[in-house]
Each structure stands twice: as structure tokens, then as C-alpha cells.
């Protein structure tokens, strides 16, 4: 199959709004949401979740990708009598924008059948795009009141695609066999769960910095959000900024004229210790080809900046660190500014290094996404910490990609009905984090 970065395909089928058969809205008690755990692999620096699917409750570990449109996983060892593939040209196939018919020459099983609806699945780690069998089955999910994980519910007819050996290849981590998309689409994990339960179209992430001391969270359907041991409901701490739409698709498959379904925000400025970093501000908006702007990514381990922003930022950062009497040491690739950690003080949020503020539009006023301590530094070896931001080169498609390290240990909420991103200050300031154990 084609693996080009921007394969434009024609829309064969008319667009039909996709919706699941209405489920009993009373099924879930009020003020209850759906919860999935998040683990981080310390080697690959990727975040993944776990879900159960099918009549045999197969447990699947799959990477979390905010920019991916759907859910896919390796079906080679998946057996389920309730699994249903979609046939070519069926209603289900049209709704899922099925584009080709796929067949298979081996023993029939989920992921291997003839005359089957093929939908696109994409492995972003090696830019591999292919059509895979569209399947559906019952997903088993857990409810939450925001404090504890409560009881299991069935999500019937969950749509996903069955991946083959080729697309699995290059997926980081031996522990993960698929990918969970959370982009602004009808087939993302969050959208399918929200519509099944009639929940608000919002989801929130709490990305852990490590899985050693507990797990992080995906909430689908809204708060409250409790982060033990803190007694606070973090939904009251959310700082809000609009999500903006990039009018040009940034995905591997673009439908003519369709906007990007990734999550962009409108950065106004970057400040170091309160001082503005000066760079060409036209990089912060989209040009006519959708190049530029700022997006949020869970698969980029570190924030990546356009080379011209990166250069200025590193220069200014080193200056600010110097004022704090931090000793600069030889850089360790891919990082451009490293310091002797013994020359930085210790604070609740990690090493006492200069803060970086990402300045964003709020509700009539500007707001700041404040990055400090452990959101900025990574320990690369004994006594050496580096600024955990990397150079994205001179011609990146997106000027600023806010990556995992900078998003950890705060709650981040994506409200798709209002198109607003909410984020809390670092949870470390409240003596808690995104690594916790919830009661079952």
C-alpha cells in the first residue's frame, strides 16, 4: 500500500454521519465517566493504555496517539466469537470511510477474510500506511467517579481495524501491539466511548513520568478529576485556551478539503524567566499549506521546535541558567543545553531551573502554560541534566510540537464541544502526580 506522507484520496462514498444505536443513557450513573490507565515505557518513552475486547476479554496494550484517527491492534492472536468484520461496500464500511476491498490467502480469522472492508491504519513510527480489515467487537471498559475505578461496562460494536505483521513492525516497545487514536474523529477511542454512553464529548489525560509508582489516567466524559493523594478536584484548577483548527490536513491520508484532526493551540509567545524569546512570529500561525503553528503530541517524547526558534530559545535559556549560577557542561545529543545538576537547587517540581512559559490566549486575557523543573529537564547521566527540548530542523511541518515530557504530571482536558483545551499547573505543586493507584 501507499506509504506517502500525504496521500490524497478521493471520497468515493457520500459522507454519512456516524452514530451508534442509542444506548440507555441511564446505564451509567450521573457524574460517572469512563477510565483507562496509562503506563509509560521508560525505554521507548511512549505512553500506552490497556483495554479488554471480545467475548474472551482479550487484553490489549496499545500506544496512545493524540494525532491518530482510529484504533487498531494486532489480531493475530485474537479469538472472539462476537467479532464481526465489515464486508466490502456495507453501510458500516461507508461510514468508516472504507476505501478498498481487502482479501487474505490464509486460514480465516479476525483480520483474515475475503471481500472485506479495508480502512486506513497508520504507524507513525515508520510512516507506514496500509488498509486493514474493519472489525467490531464489544469493548469492556471501567467506570469512574473521578476517585476510584468502579465497575465494568460493555461497549458493543466498538470499531477498530485488525493489523497485520507489517504495520506492527517498528511499533516501539515489545509490550504494545496496537495504537489508540484520540484525534478529533468519530472513530477515536474517546468519541466512540462518549457516544456509546451519551457522555459529554470530552476526554482528559494525566501522563505519568514513570510507571514505577503507579499509573496515569485517560478519562472519557469529563470530571471530577481526583489525583490521589491530593483531596482536590483538579477540574477546578484548569486553565483554558481555545483549540484551533489547522485548515489543512496533517494526517497521512487527507480527504479533499478536510481540515487536520490533530489538536493545535495558538501560542503567542515563549518566555524564559518572564522574558520573551525573540523569533519570527509568523512561524506561530499556519501558512496557506497548513505549515506552522503548535500542536500537542503524545508520541513525540520531547517538545520539538523549528530550528530558528530552538536556537534562540537555547541561547536565552543558557543565559538565564547562568544567572542562576548553573554550570553548563558538554551537551549530550539530542539535547543542546546540559548542566551540572549539583549546581541547581531542589524544588517541589524538580531541579530549580529557569521556567519556560508558553503564552496562550485565554478567556479575554493571556494565560501561561508554565514549564518548570522536571517538565524541562531530563537526567541523561549522573550529575548531568539537559533541557528536554529538541531541534525540529529548518522545515518542520509544525513549528512547535509539544511533546510528552512537557505534558507529564498535569491534567490536560480536551473539550470537543467547546473546542477548549484545559490544563492544570504541575500536579507536583499540589504534592501529587500522574502516578497513582486507584482502588478497584
Ligand X SMILES: *[C@@H]1O[C@H](CO)[C@@H](O)[C@H](O)[C@H]1NC(C)=O
For residues 62 and 80, give the distance between their C-alpha atoms in angstroms, rounded to a whole number. Answer: 18
For residues 398 and 295, give the distance between their C-alpha atoms in angstroms, rounded to a whole number. Answer: 7
Q: Closest separation between CB of residue 396 and ligand X, Å?
A: 11
Q: Closest separation between CB of residue 113 and ligand X, Å?
A: 5
| For ligand X, the closer CB: 14 or 105 | 105
Q: Closest separation between CB of residue 430 and ligand X, Å?
A: 5
CB atoms within 10 A of CB 221: 23
- All three cell numbers of 171, joined, read 511499533
For residues 248 and 313, give the distance between their C-alpha atoms in angstroms, rounded to a whole number. Answer: 28
Q: Interior CA angle at 117 toward 113 and 121, to 5°?
A: 100
Q: Closest separation between CB of residue 194 and ligand X, Å?
A: 30
Q: Closest separation between CB of residue 346 and ligand X, Å?
A: 12
End-to-end CA, the chain: 44
| For ligand X, the closer CB: 41 or 186 | 41
**Can you give the binding site for ligand X, defined by CB under 6 A?**
41, 43-44, 103-105, 108, 112-114, 173-175, 280, 282-283, 430-431
| For ligand X, the closer CB: 19 or 289 | 289
Q: Closest separation between CB of residue 227 and ligand X, Å?
A: 12
Enter the DSSP assignment of 284.
Answer: G
| For ligand X, the closer CB: 277 or 329 | 277
Q: Do 145 and 32 contact (CB within 8 A), yes or no? A: yes
Q: Closest separation between CB of residue 330 and ligand X, Å?
A: 27
Beta strand 389-391 with 303-305: parallel, antiparallel or unpaired? Answer: parallel
Enter the DSSP assignment of 404.
Answer: H
For residues 134 and 150, give the distance between their C-alpha atoms in angstroms, rounded to a whole number. Answer: 31
For residues 268 and 300, give the distance between their C-alpha atoms in angstroms, rounded to a whole number. Answer: 22
For residues 128 and 211, give the distance between their C-alpha atoms in angstroms, rounded to a whole number. Answer: 29
| For ligand X, the closer CB: 315 or 328 | 315
| For ligand X, the closer CB: 212 or 256 | 212
| For ligand X, the closer CB: 44 or 90 | 44
Amino acid at each position: 500500500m501507499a506509504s506517502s506522507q500525504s496521500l490524497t484520496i478521493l471520497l468515493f462514498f457520500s459522507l454519512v454521519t456516524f452514530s451508534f444505536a442509542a444506548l440507555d443513557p441511564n446505564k451509567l450513573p450521573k457524574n460517572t465517566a469512563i477510565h483507562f490507565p496509562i503506563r509509560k515505557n521508560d525505554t521507548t518513552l511512549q505512553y500506552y493504555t490497556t483495554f479488554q475486547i471480545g467475548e474472551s476479554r482479550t487484553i490489549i496494550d496499545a500506544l496512545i496517539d493524540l494525532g491518530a484517527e482510529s484504533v487498531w491492534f494486532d489480531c493475530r492472536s485474537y479469538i472472539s466469537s462476537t467479532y464481526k468484520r465489515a464486508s466490502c461496500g456495507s453501510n458500516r464500511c461507508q461510514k468508516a470511510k472504507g476505501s478498498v476491498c481487502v482479501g487474505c490467502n490464509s486460514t480465516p480469522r479476525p483480520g483474515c477474510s475475503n471481500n472485506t472492508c479495508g480502512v486506513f491504519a497508520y504507524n507513525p513510527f515508520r510512516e507506514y500506511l496500509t488498509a486493514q480489515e474493519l472489525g467490531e467487537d464489544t469493548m469492556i471498559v471501567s467506570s469512574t467517579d473521578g476517585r476510584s475505578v468502579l465497575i465494568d461496562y460493555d461497549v458493543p460494536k466498538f470499531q477498530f481495524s485488525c493489523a497485520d505483521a507489517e504495520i506492527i513492525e517498528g511499533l516501539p516497545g515489545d509490550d504494545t501491539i496496537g495504537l489508540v487514536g484520540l484525534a478529533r474523529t468519530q472513530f477515536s477511542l474517546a468519541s466512540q466511548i462518549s457516544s456509546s454512553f451519551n457522555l459529554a464529548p470530552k476526554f482528559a489525560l494525566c501522563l505519568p513520568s514513570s510507571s514505577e509508582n503507579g499509573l496515569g489516567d485517560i478519562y472519557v466524559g469529563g470530571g471530577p478529576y481526583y489525583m490521589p493523594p491530593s483531596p482536590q478536584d483538579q477540574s477546578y484548577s484548569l486553565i483554558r485556551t481555545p483549540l484551533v483548527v489547522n485548515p489543512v490536513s496533517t494526517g497521512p491520508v487527507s480527504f479533499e478539503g478536510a481540515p487536520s484532526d490533530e489538536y493545535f493551540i495558538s501560542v503567542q509567545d515563549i518566555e524564559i524567566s518572564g522574558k520573551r524569546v525573540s523569533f519570527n512570529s509568523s512561524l506561530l500561525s499556519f501558512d496557506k499549506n497548513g505549515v506552522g503553528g503548535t500542536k500537542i503530541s503524545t508520541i513525540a517524547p520531547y517538545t520539538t521546535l523549528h530550528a530558528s526558534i530552538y536556537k534562540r530559545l537555547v541561547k536565552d535559556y543558557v543565559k538565564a541558567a547562568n544567572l542562576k549560577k548553573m554550570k553548563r557542561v558538554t551537551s549530550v545529543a539530542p539535547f543542546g543545553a546540559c548542566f551540572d545538576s549539583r549546581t541547581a537547587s531542589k524544588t517541589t517540581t524538580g531541579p530549580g531551573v529557569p521556567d519556560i512559559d508558553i503564552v496562550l490566549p485565554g478567556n479575554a486575557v493571556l494565560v501561561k502554560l508554565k514549564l518548570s523543573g522536571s517538565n524541562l529537564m531530563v537526567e541523561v547521566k549522573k550529575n548531568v541534566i539537559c533541557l528536554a527540548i529538541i531541534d525540529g530542523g529548518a522545515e518542520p511541518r509544525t513549528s512547535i510540537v509539544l511533546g510528552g515530557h512537557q505534558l507529564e504530571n498535569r491534567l490536560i482536558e480536551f473539550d470537543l464541544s467547546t473546542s477548549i483545551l484545559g490544563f492544570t499547573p504541575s500536579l507536583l505543586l499540589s504534592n501529587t502526580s500522574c502516578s497513582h493507584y486507584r482502588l478497584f
